[in-house]
Structure 1
């Protein structure tokens, strides 16, 4: 059976030798987050900090820091959940292999939350200022909850069946929030809580919200699951947790998980917004201060032995990468049932997840055609941009399964990019959606929440041979230099500092594209990227993906070698040029505090609790 609360889980990890307790005093301001990140990158154990300065509650981190640990925590249930996912895809499989689904009725029973009158979480009360105040990066605007489970119900049809459990940003202090009475609730567009908030606004009433921290590990995973609207995450939490989630239910109040470590109860007041942020986010930059809803705090509950689980986010990979990989393992076989014709998707973690989506789809619309070209693929791509979390994608690169073959995969990034660049017709296969909604955390657009998207499709035979060497006669305009080959068909050029305003193209990039049109053999590099630091960008694929796709807006920052516009369709005859420089309006990249890093080094020195780990 799955773990029912944080302490039970941590004790099991310690017994397994996969947890270290740190009794040395540590600071929740910058230091503890730096420790967590260093241990994660070292592939180290879970951490329990028993002595947090200025706080009576211990803090735990890196609980989900490796794939092996994730699999161990959910070892009793993960296979059954995967089989149930497969059953949705192929109902007849249960008749063919009934022995594989013997646990299905029990798992279905576990999806139903259990109503209880009280529980450990209700035994203690504190205030917001009594909670751990985690500040992960030097420019963060205050203390944040980084593993929150934000629970809301539909004002029109209340109840668990129509509830939403999401992992949204929660700022506990700082800015203009009234201490202990107000906290900031930053939810991104397309999120389930937004539908509930809209209903409450329409009714002119506050939206009740409960924020859970800790409890059953399955609750944290459920809060991150990209489930379809109308399917309650609490049901999934029970299935993955291997037990019915006990919920304290009181008349007129939202339910609270009995085994949670903490619960913040309150409501979003209509018409009240205040600046939230800055905050170091999972794209590797700061998301700056913007107005977001304010949650009025009514009560803060905690269990007697409460532990505050946390993580820190930053440029991938981080601990949340493990969540993403785990979710992919659970849901991979569901992709064709959610997106007809799509066989595989890969939201690229190194590019910050939402900026870049790779996909494999079918191309069957005209099987008798002499040359296959993207048609069904475009239908597939539009479906991806119209559903669930994939709708936040900015660049969608989609290839035909018929060309990739049975072993081809969009998870092999170098091979997939080569395949795309060999087969794409740049005069035909680039499809832009402009002035549309983009991820709230993406600052490359023309304003907050607004920018463009690109569908880049490829099907059929090879269109070109990709080059791996530069022509010696390449001439670039003043300020552009150091062209370097990243991979076959991909060229990176160092550019001068960006100086244009938001929502403006840069004539200098047009001159670069025009000059490259005269270079013999430039068509062998169909993707050309202009970056601030070419050496850094070509150092490895992670750097290339992060720079290229987090720092560019497709419509604003793409130029063409031999570009043209015909009947409102844009194309390029030889190559595309992507301006991936940091823009004047971009948020700053995350940088660690050198003094804090020195203190972390001391923990890893001989005699320190992390010696041999970091």
Structure 2
């Protein structure tokens, strides 16, 4: 089945038992978001809410709630698309120049958008305030679109082939915005819309923007797909959807997705920004209010039977975890063609995706050396941090395939064991300071600015990792609660963080000096300092989330016997990562207790969601 709109998809999901309808009134302010998160955790069917407070439009969630359902949605086209990605030629060239590959059946034909004069999306008009006002978390600054397809075209080269579709956050309401006339457009760095906006600013022209909601599910997936610059997501959507995307073209207007449920059409004028946020984000913390482009609303369109698809994000795993897994499975074989020498990459979802990237690369530069040391691995790390979405990674940790052909980045214990056994702490940490980092990451020295670490290891095993805390291990005042997490890694509770942003913490220097004086801790090479040692050491999800979302490499890594030589930092070990919540960090996400109790009631026996969530 090639789903051309939300209505076809809902009907087929319902027919196959993969969607249920809830007719009891629900509130888009926090309540439906908590239901969606529980539905995802329970691997529940998609849920359609037909009676939503404050709006006439139904809402639907959890459509992509499981990998099995996501692959089922694209079952008729997935094999052909996977074939394209396995082309012996450059598979990305297929999406740049699909007409060159007429021999690839149907998928090639489907890539080219179809120009139409009208479509269902133009059936009706409404206003922003009449749309569902989804608030996912208590501190959210207003109602948000959480599955938008934000469409723009290059001002320098208008047309489909130089268009961009991205899932950029859209704030519909909130104190800064004039009702029904303005919305907030939050796009992060390294996004295609940014290039279009830069062209418009250079030309001193406004940028036209269309925000589609709903429509073909292939468009939603295309908006998330991390395609290289120069490849239009609209082309990929056609290949994934299995049909030519119908786009309404009107003279002097930006094209509209004919089968979308909604379209908010607007204009971003030069040098107009307003505060957008806060918003409970996918790292598990709020992104706070910052100035982002202001979009002036020109029209809001919707089809007769419009349904509002939504999701929520928060501490992983969430529904966007499935998006990431789907994209990884689709593109895994492309990794060596994009990053020379890299065999496998894994943006770690429990750590919030961008904070931690694990990779396996080659170390072939000096194969005759008596003892190999990381050289090609460093080149691989620089490549990963310089291209595509992997460039947003904060910790890039690379192992050499030659040391263990069976090693995988998806077995965390095995991978970290491999690294800790082989790392030379005086040599193998390479910091990039005062550089660009993910907009949503508040561990750096300012918005969009912080540090990155390339951590490499290769060669023979250098140490045996201890499986228990050594008898001589001790801690200075204000540090306590040492917990063994895995062989070689201990988590300790530290004092509350009070240092300013962009400053080291003297308490960490005291800890490093103390561990240096303890001595003989070679079997314990990594110490993580947290606010709650029990929580952090409880499982891998907690450990990865705390360690890598609450630390900036250059600011928050310390070491016993640390030194700096010719700008290179190293230490004798143990290495210390300060993973406490910092005084300047954004707050972690917490659900509203009253809403939780209300959803508990709906899930209890006799409730409309009993045995569902």
TM over 0.5: yes
Q: Hey, what does 1:573 align to over in structure 2?
A: 572
Counterparts of 1:262-273 in structure 2, within 5 Å, are 262-273=262-273
Does the CA contact (< 8 Å) of 1:385 and 1:392 recur in 2?
A: yes
Give the distance between the partners of 2:163 and 2:54, measured in 1 at CA. Answer: 36
Preserved contact between residue 517 and residue 562 of structure 1 (Cα < 8 Å) = yes
Structure 1 match to 2:304: 304
Partner of 2:58: 58
Q: Which deviates more, 146-155 or 407-416? A: 407-416
Scaled by the length of structure 1, the TM-score of the pair is 0.97
Q: Offset of 1:497 from its aligned partner?
A: 0.6
Residue in structure 2 matched with residue 145 of structure 1 by the alignment: 145
Partner of 2:339: 339
Residue 388 of structure 1: how far off its partner (Å)? 0.6
> What secondary structure sits across from 2:293 in the alignment?
strand
Q: Superposition pairs for residues 348-387 of structure 1, below 5 Å?
A: 348-387=348-387
Residue of structure 2 in register with 1:36 after alignment: 36
Say which is worse superposed, 291-300 or 512-521, in terms of deviation.
Answer: 512-521
User: What TM-score comes out, normalization by structure 2 length?
Assistant: 0.97
Aligned to 1:403: 403
What displacement does 1:394 show? 0.2
Alignment of 1:445 with 2:444, yes or no, is yes
Is the contact between residue 102 and residue 109 of structure 2 (CA under 8 Å) also seen in structure 1? Answer: no
> What's the counterpart of residue 490 of structure 2?
491
Corresponding residue SS for 2:209: strand
Deviations 1:60-79 (A, max 9, x none): 00000001100110011111
**Is the 8 Å Cα contact of residues 175 and 276 (structure 1) preserved in structure 2?**
no
Cα displacement (A) at 1:475: 2.5
Return the offset for 1:506.
Answer: 0.4
- The match for 2:527 is 528
Q: Residue in 1 aligned with 2:198?
A: 198
Show the counterpart of 1:168: 168
**Distance across 2 between alignment mates of 1:537 and 1:364:** 37
2:178 maps to 1:178: yes
Q: How many residues in Structure 1 have an aligned counterpart in Structure 2?
A: 605
How far did 1:131 drift? 0.5
Counterpart position of 1:97: none
Structure 2 residue 577 is matched with structure 1 residue 593: no
SS at match of 1:497: coil
Counterpart CA distance in 2 for 1:19 and 1:215 is: 17
1:395 positional shift: 0.2
Q: Distance in 2 between matches of 1:310 and 1:452?
A: 33
- Alpha-carbon contact 1:89-1:333 (below 8 Å) kept: no
Aligned residue in 1 for 2:499: 500
2:267 aligns to what SS in structure 1? strand
Q: Distance in 1 between matches of 2:471 and 2:368?
A: 44
Distance 1:376 1:210 in 2: 44
Alignment of 1:402-421 (within 5 A): 402-405=402-405, 407-421=406-420
Q: Which residue of 1 aligns with 2:117?
A: 117
Compared with structure 1, are the counterparts of its residues 90 and 156 closer, same or farther at alpha carbon in structure 2 (3 Å cutoff)? Answer: closer
Match for residue 106 of structure 1? 106
Instruction: Specify the SS of the correspondent of 2:269.
Output: strand
Contact 1:175 1:275 in 2 (8 A): no
Q: CA deviation at 1:408?
A: 1.6
Cα deviation, residue 472, structure 1: 2.5
Does the CA contact (< 8 Å) of 2:102 and 2:108 recur in 1? no
Counterpart of 2:612 in 1: which secondary structure?
A: coil
Structure-2 separation of matches of 1:41 and 1:75: 23
Counterpart-to-counterpart distance in 2, 1:553 and 1:175: 32
Tell me the equivalent position of 1:254: 254
- Secondary structure of 2:421's match? helix
RMSD: 1.3
User: 3-state DSSP class of the match of 1:139?
Assistant: coil
Equivalent position of 2:98 in the other structure: none
Relative to structure 1, the CA distance from residue 465 to residue 164 in structure 2 (aligned partners, 3 Å threshold; closer, same or farther) is same
The answer on 1:456 being equivalent to 2:479 is no
SS for the counterpart of 1:293 is: strand
Does the 8 Å CA contact 1:432/1:453 hold for their aligned counterparts? yes
1:225-240 matches, within 5 Å, as: 225-240=225-240
The question of whether the paired residues in 1 share the 8 Å contact of 2:436 and 2:450 is answered with yes
Query: In the alignment, what sits opposite 1:543?
Result: 542
Shift of residue 520, structure 1, vs aligned partner: 4.1
Q: Which residue of 1 aligns with 2:582?
A: 583
User: 2:236 matched to 1:221?
Assistant: no
Q: In 2, Cα distance between the equivalents of 1:250 and 1:411?
A: 48
Mapped partners of 1:609, 1:522: distance in 2: 57
Cα displacement (A) at 1:102: 11
* CA distance in 2 between partners of 1:366 and 1:442 (Å): 37
Distance 1:90 1:257 in 2: 29
**2:97 alignment partner in structure 1:** none
- Whole-Å separation in 1 of the counterparts to 2:110 and 2:87: 17
Partner of 2:154: 154
Aligned to 1:98: none
| Structure 2 unaligned regions, length at least 5 | 95-100
Paired residue secondary structure (1:270):
coil
The secondary structure found in structure 2 opposite 1:320 is helix
2:512 equivalent in structure 1: 513
Unaligned runs of 5+ in 1: 95-100
* Greater displacement, 310-319 / 101-110: 101-110
Q: Structure 1 245/283 Cα, relative in aligned 2: closer, same or farther at 3 Å?
A: same
Conserved 8 A contact 2:515-2:574:
no
- Structure 2 distance, partners of 1:102, 1:169, is 37
**Residues 315-370 of structure 1 deviation map (CA, whole Å, 9 limit, x = unaligned):** 00000000000000110001111111111100000000000000011111111111
Per the TM alignment, residue 272 of structure 1 is displaced from its structure 2 partner at its CA by 0.8
CA distance 1:594–1:107, change in 2 (3 Å):
same
2:601 pairs with 1:602: yes
Structure 2 residue aligned with 1:243: 243
Paired residue for 2:77? 77
Q: Which runs of 4+ in 1 moved over 3 A?
A: 88-91
Query: In the alignment, which residue of structure 2 is the partner of 1:12?
Result: 12
